[in-house]
C-alpha cells in the first residue's frame, strides 16, 4: 500500500459465498459499536472511516464481491472520498491541458519567428503536475493509518 499508485488495489479469494460475505459486511456496518461506516448495494460495498474520525484525507475502501469457483472473489480499491478524487483529477487535467495549449501556442510562435514565451508553460505544467502528485502522496500517507484500519476490518469480516 505504499507504492507509487494513488489508489491501491487488491484481490482476495474467500471460501464464503458472496451472499454470506455481503451479509457479514452489512452486519458489521449496522452494529452500534461499528468500527466503520459504510454502505452496501447488491455486490458492492464501501467501507469508510467513522465520521467523528474522518478528515479531508480519510480513505474509503470500495469492495466488489463476485462469485468464484471456491467461494467469493473480492476486488478492493482504497481511495480518497469521491470529492477529493474529483478535485485531483480536475487539477491534473487542467494543468495538463493548459500546458499542452501553451506548448502548441509556443510552437506556433516559433514557426512564425516570434518570441516563444508560451513555451514556458510546458515545463511549468510539468513542475505543477509533480507538485500535485506529491501533495496526493502526502495525503495518502496522512490517511495510511486509517487505510490499515479499514483493511483490518475487512480481514476481521473474512475471519483471517
We report the CATH number of the domain holding residue 42 as 3.30.310.80
Indicate the pTM of the whole model.
0.76
- What is the mean pLDDT of the segment spanning 65-76? 88
Residues 67 and 18 in one domain: yes
Residues 90, 103 share a domain: yes
> Which residues lie below 8 Å from residue 92, measured CB to CB, with a gap of 6+?
129, 132
Q: Are residues 76 and 150 in the same domain?
A: yes
| Predicted confidence (pLDDT) per residue in 89-138, tens digit | 999 999 999 999 999 999 999 999 999 999 999 999 999 999 999 998 88
Number of structural domains found in the chain? 2
Contacts (Cβ under 8 Å, ≥6 apart) of 40: 22, 25, 26, 29, 46
Under a CB-based contact definition with an 8 Å cutoff, are residues 44 and 64 in contact? Answer: yes
Residue 69 or 94, more confident: 94
Q: What is the pLDDT of residue 127?
A: 97
Q: Of 61, 75, 59, nearest to 18 (Cα)?
A: 75
Give 52's Cβ-side CA count (13 Å radius).
3
Residue with cell 458472496: 18
The answer to whether residue 31 scores a pLDDT higher than 80 is no
Confidence (pLDDT) at 4: 55
Indicate if 130 and 72 belong to the same structural domain: no
Separation of first and last alpha carbons in the chain: 19
pLDDT of residue 6: 64
CA distance 158 to 160: 6
Please check whether residues 132 and 150 belong to one and the same domain: no
Range of the domain at 130: 84-137
Assign 63 a pLDDT band (cuts: 50, 70, 90). very high
Q: In this predicted structure, what is the pLDDT of residue 52? A: 87
Q: Is residue 4 part of a domain?
A: no
Does residue 97 sit in the same domain as residue 55? no
Predicted confidence at residue 30, as pLDDT, reads 82
Amino acid at each position: 500500500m505504499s507504492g507509487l499508485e494513488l489508489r491501491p488495489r487488491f484481490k482476495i479469494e474467500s471460501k464464503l459465498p458472496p451472499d454470506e460475505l455481503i451479509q457479514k459486511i452489512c452486519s458489521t456496518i449496522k452494529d452500534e459499536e461499528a468500527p466503520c461506516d459504510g454502505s452496501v448495494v447488491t455486490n458492492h460495498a464501501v467501507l469508510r472511516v467513522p465520521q467523528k474520525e474522518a478528515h479531508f484525507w480519510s480513505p474509503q475502501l470500495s469492495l466488489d464481491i463476485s462469485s468464484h469457483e471456491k467461494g467469493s472473489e473480492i476486488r478492493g480499491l482504497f481511495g480518497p472520498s469521491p470529492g477529493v478524487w474529483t478535485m485531483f483529477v480536475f487539477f491534473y487535467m487542467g494543468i495538463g491541458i493548459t500546458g499542452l495549449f501553451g506548448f502548441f501556442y509556443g510552437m506556433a510562435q516559433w514557426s512564425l519567428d516570434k518570441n516563444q514565451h508560451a513555451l514556458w508553460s510546458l515545463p511549468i505544467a510539468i513542475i505543477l503536475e509533480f507538485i500535485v502528485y506529491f501533495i496526493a502522496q502526502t495525503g495518502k500517507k496522512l490517511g495510511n493509518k486509517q487505510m490499515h484500519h479499514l483493511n483490518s476490518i475487512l480481514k476481521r469480516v473474512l475471519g483471517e
